[in-house]
Structure 1
């Protein structure tokens, strides 16, 4: 058959280049039925598509093919050779055919794609000029082919014939997509058309398996228009060479680069293990499992070496190319025992990555005793696997298994190197997460041990609190709160926030909280207490500056600083005195439901020094609600501080009957996710002491008034039904009033408070406080305060704006029914 030479083309005129009729194309399904028949096939054999589609292809054969030969042909991915066909006019026609087997895809059944060239069946002398021109322009050692302007092959060199495993006669007259049936080759034809249109050389990289192989190869293709002297394109030259090693090396580098950003995004062991599994699917493996030693469950150090015998591992993560991970025989979180000699244990014992094929004795012996794994290997066709130990800083943490069943190519040694790199990166991140989890658990334990375990009983306010540690990335901070009963039925409310996070911040918080408790015990006013606390923080900061730098791996202590709010509420007068050291002002909700932020002077944070703290006294109606908090409650990426404060006031204005519910409502309204900073929240609803439970007398500056004071106190106790406390109360009144008249300055005032306990207070205008001392054997005085201390639960003194107050507190007997609980027996 004579060949039609495609006409010469001017660059830019590539319309209608591809003439489908220049080759016969037929598809035949798995049952031998013709499913497609093009114009070239009609031209070759004379049958129209309507005559052939749906008919058995065997009717076209001039000779029958043996059944055994047909079965052997069905196993081939490609076949080429000559076939004797019968023309409608009954003459015999021998045709050179190239047949490609197409696998089922996306519901499409498998089929054979058969093609035969109708043109260019014999080389012509003018082809040699094109070949010579192309050789001058192509690189030496490349596979080369020369095509006409219809993209049909004219000539090829030995390297091209070897790479495609076809002779020149098999390929001549065919387009690239007909000679190799692969979607990537259509991309090459588009590049060749672009070269025709532009007249400029083009470059394309194709990813196609070599004939007879399943592994994808990368081919660098250089397409060159071959021109006449007048610039007309008379052909296309193509040269290509295999760059597969560079391609796979680049893919490995890209996977490793991706691992550095995707693995270890959080300090969570399970999440890190899952990130390793997710990264390897589907580019590298078809199924990945990550199993960790049980010792990591409690964040302990992994034991050295691996114990003899079976080893129990916990499945931390797995991932598959199949939805639902059906290959897995162990669910995440479950523990499985791996026998001695199994591939995962061999990797743990040796500390090396190992490569296996499904037929290796280690795999067959393991699966012979494990039916579930044997079924998974059989059902999914797993053909190769790698087991890689997770090792970091000399400790073995677990093992990761990579398996392939959908990837046609088995794992190779270079895959084993990549698996080791991925596992090494993941192991370091898992170890970091494990160490952080252990350190965070220590810090949280320390933090909770330093916070109040239970709020003390007192009658001045109803209180509820919440404490939320920061999220894992920020670490535990130094927020704290306290409710401190004071003398005179008063109560101190404290909220503070230490700068920084970690164990050092928690320890600093413990020192400051202890200091506040100590200073509160001596009844300092809020502004004076913050001044003493400021001095303490300044000393701690100076000590830290003078300390040697921490050793390698030790936690940096950073600067020492804090903010604090200290408030004292008196239920007898309804007065609340508040002082701030760099801390957010509290919110107040009055009984009528009005919520607002208190406008208070804010002093500098603790540790800066130099500026005084100012206390503000406010009178609160009974049932008022005070909300004290740290700034972590207000911080949010979604809104600014003003919006958070407004939302806080709106939520507090709801004022549920139970403070416990209100605490939950506040956190739910202001927190959208795990907080980035610690949060301490303290809600206090004020109470007022009944005036019938407070008795006050002005005492004349006359020693004779002591007796009358005792009588008045005794009478008041009788009125309260506290006759049992009469003896001790008369002694305390006598001692404290006598001392005030003798050593202090008028006016002198006696006050009895019947709260949970009985409080006796004597106030005077002197600022000099008494102190208790041991009286010597022959001393006539000095035993009064000693007796008071021995007979009462507590005593002390506090400074006031008018002078001082000395107080003593007696514990009252508890009613027998006070702790009685009625049990519901129904």
Structure 2
């Protein structure tokens, strides 16, 4: 089929002039036969004229003809389908339209129009029918010429603005819709004109003249119109209002964003601000979130206020605005006072939302005379529509959220109210969760403050700095810990440890371990024995709780699998002794800045069982810095640091400059710049040595007569130290301790005095038994020596050495700087 035939067929589908006409009388007899009817049915006029229409109809439809005759006579016409027998015997399906022909001469009264169904997509329509179809269509329809100027439009298009059809003629879309962004639409028209491609379902969003304050959406389809030669004549397009569907999609998208962006943290204020941020500017121009002060503290919400005469004070928790000139008068974190009877108070009292589509510019119910109101001057800011929604979760009102719109937006309606309630209800659950966790966090922080050292004790053995970074941002609490414990003889114990897990359970277990370590340290035990007793304690606690020792799946509530390194440093001779239980070995930064790692045997984690712990002893140069850390400081929180992790730690420790506190924080910031994946504790201690003028010692023979000489030497040394006021007490202590050593022990006796922050008197002997404090009766002749020592000194005790023991006593100095 050629192009001309295709265009001819297209015309015939819409042009009644291509139908085959014939005339019928009142009885349905053919009275006139046209050449078009002869070509269609292959009958000459002589054979058909005078024949009843029923004789031409195929057998399956012949029975209908009498009924159809009666119908078109009664109704004034008929249209439908009939099967007709052609002259060559072949049946053909026809579209038949019969209408009155009163002006025809003779007995003919009816005009029949025949069109073969196989050559058409439907009934051919005459102009009146077609005009009814397009003019009465509820869909907006228009035709523009090649200059995109209107040449025709139907009445339905007027609903989108721009006036009736006759006012559009000769104008372009930008002329009839000045507020509409018409360029994208006209770009689609030009594309259709240039390519002939039909565009279906193009969606356009904007503001039309019929609704200047409301964003609308239309679905448009474009088709090119051509003449008989196929040249473009213009564009035919249709418009359907899909604003309701568009707004529904917007609401769903807003709810999706709210689900993604609200409640990402367990911070109350941040959650309230996220609610405000997600709803501006898409839903409102100004949003304020006001919560009860008790909610922000993490406490239980206060009872809802009654409808009394007193104003109610809330706290601004979130605020967002689309423009600078619609910001509220109250900043986040400040109090906001609502007058009695105001919409927010009504929402708090009733728990129901409040909607005002057209707000009085003065809004007296908001208390415009009060500068503390949420929007003191509605008129100046152009706010015209308000929604107030209570923030309710689990049946309790936590506060209110207020949404405002300006003049450029349509007023809030019932659909907006439902959407706002949905958004606020989602946020309310997040706020309540954050409130509950805030309460838990406050409890956890209070526990942490009591478990970790408030400050490290002052002493003369080391300069010390510590840094602790929890991985749990919510509670700020974990199982890592550190401590510095003063020991006898001016020594100190440095401790760093960690308990598996995070949160309150790990912190509680850490607190028990720290307390146990301090208790064991008071016994002046060596590091390996301290860890041994600690291991027994953890294992016994686990057994009592029914927990199997398993360091892999460690239970932080029982501290099974915990790690600990225990170091004792003696500033008299610079000796350092340490042992480890499943914990990284300390690093040593020498005075020249070089870094070494101590080859320390790694014992099993606490409570896991294993061979006895081993200690390492080494001498440290004065000014060396011990760096004790938990494994969270390493790259992957791995207990067994690889070479690359140690190299990173080495480079961080080698950096010089700044105070010890600054260096400690710098090391942590360098190794975990984005925050730790595991808790981090770092304890850095720079060693000191006591000067020769601070220590005096004497070797004494095992002769009771030497006691008097020992008292004289001690008194002389106190005179050199300008501590004469302590001479009497010191003589008594020296006399009692040396006498006991000579009387009850074998071998040599050594007396040592140390002037540090206290005056320390130590007596060494080779005995293996520890003295015990007795409370003698009044009739006893002896046994009062240690009782006297305990009464006149600050503290006393015994510690065991490799070949004997040391009994010591401390007296406080009135001026520690002496």
Q: Is the partner of 2:403 in helix, strand or coil?
A: strand
**Residues 192 and 202 in structure 1, CA contact (< 8 A), matched pair in contact too:** no
| Residue 576 (str. 1) matches residue 576 (str. 2) | yes
Contact kept, 8 Å, 2:359 with 2:386, in 1: the verdict is: no
Partner of 1:105: none
1:451–1:475: structure 2 CA closer, same or farther, 3 Å change rule? Answer: closer
Q: Is the 8 A contact 2:542 2:558 kept in 1?
A: no
SS in structure 1 at match of 2:762: strand
1:645 aligns with 2:649: yes
Listed one character per residue, the Cα deviations across residues 571-625 of structure 1 (whole Å, up to 9, x for unaligned) are: 2221011223343433433334444444434434434332543322111122333
RMSD (CA atoms):
4.3
Do the aligned residues in 2 keep the contact of 1:757 with 1:809 (CA within 8 Å)? no
Contact 2:312 2:345 in 1 (8 A): yes
The aligned residue for residue 311 of structure 1 is 312
For the residues of structure 2 that align with 1:388 and 1:540, how far apart are their CA atoms? Answer: 53
- What are the within-5 Å matches in structure 2 for residues 358-757 of structure 1? 358-359=358-359, 363-367=363-367, 369-370=369-370, 376-467=377-468, 472-473=473-474, 475-542=476-543, 560-631=560-631, 641-642=645-646, 644-651=648-655, 653-654=656-657, 656=658, 659-660=660-661, 662-663=663-664, 672=673, 678-698=679-699, 705-721=703-719, 736=737, 744=745, 746=747, 748-757=749-758
Q: Deviations over 1:663-722 (max 9, x none)?
A: 56656666756666555443323222334544445555x5xx132244234323333326
Judged with a 3 Å threshold, the aligned counterparts in structure 2 of structure 1 residues 493 and 145 are, in CA distance, closer, same or farther, namely same
Q: Distance in 1 between matches of 2:776 and 2:229?
A: 129
The corresponding residue for 1:335 is: 335
Structure 1 residues 135 and 688: alpha-carbon distance in aligned structure 2, compared to 1, 3 A threshold: farther
Change (3 A) 1:538 1:238: farther
Give the number of equivalent residue pairs: 680
User: Hey, what does 2:251 align to over in structure 1?
Assistant: 252
Q: Distance in 1 between matches of 2:781 and 2:5?
A: 135
Change (3 A) 1:176 1:745: same
Per-residue deviation, 1:465: 3.8
Contact between 2:798 and 2:805, CA under 8 Å: does it hold in 1? yes
Counterpart in the other structure of 2:356: 356
1:286–1:406 Cα contact (<8 Å) kept: no
Q: 1:405 deviation in Å?
A: 0.9
Q: Which residue of 1 aligns with 2:74?
A: none
Q: Per the alignment, in what secondary structure is the counterpart of residue 398 of structure 2?
A: strand
- In structure 1, distance between residues paired with 2:132 and 2:592: 97
Q: Aligned-pair distance for 1:289?
A: 1.4
Q: Is the 8 A contact 1:632 1:676 kept in 2?
A: yes
Structure 1, unpaired ranges of 5+: 1-6, 11-126, 548-554, 821-826
CA contact (8 A) 1:277 1:290 kept: yes
Instruction: Give yes or no for contact 2:563–2:581 (8 Å, CA) kept in 1.
Output: yes
Q: What's 1:321 paired with?
A: 322
Distance 1:556 1:434, change over 3 A: farther
CA contact (8 A) 2:752 2:761 kept: yes
Q: Is the 8 A contact 1:706 1:734 kept in 2?
A: no
User: Does structure 1 conserve the Cα–Cα contact (< 8 Å) formed by 2:292 and 2:302?
Assistant: no
Contact 1:476–1:502 (CA<8 Å) still a contact in 2? Answer: yes
For residues 177-188 of structure 1, the aligned pairs below 5 Å read 177-181=174-178, 183-188=180-185
Q: Do the aligned residues in 1 keep the contact of 2:718 with 2:726 (CA within 8 Å)?
A: no
Please give the alpha-carbon distance, in whole angstroms, between the structure 2 residues aligned to 1:573 and 1:509.
32
Aligned equivalents of 1:131 and 1:809: distance in 2?
Answer: 122
SS in 2 for 1:349: helix
Using the alignment, how far apart are the partners of 1:609 and 1:452 within structure 2? 29
When residues 592 and 157 of structure 1 are mapped into structure 2, their CA distance, relative to the original with a 3 A threshold, is closer
**Structure 2 counterpart SS, 1:516:** helix
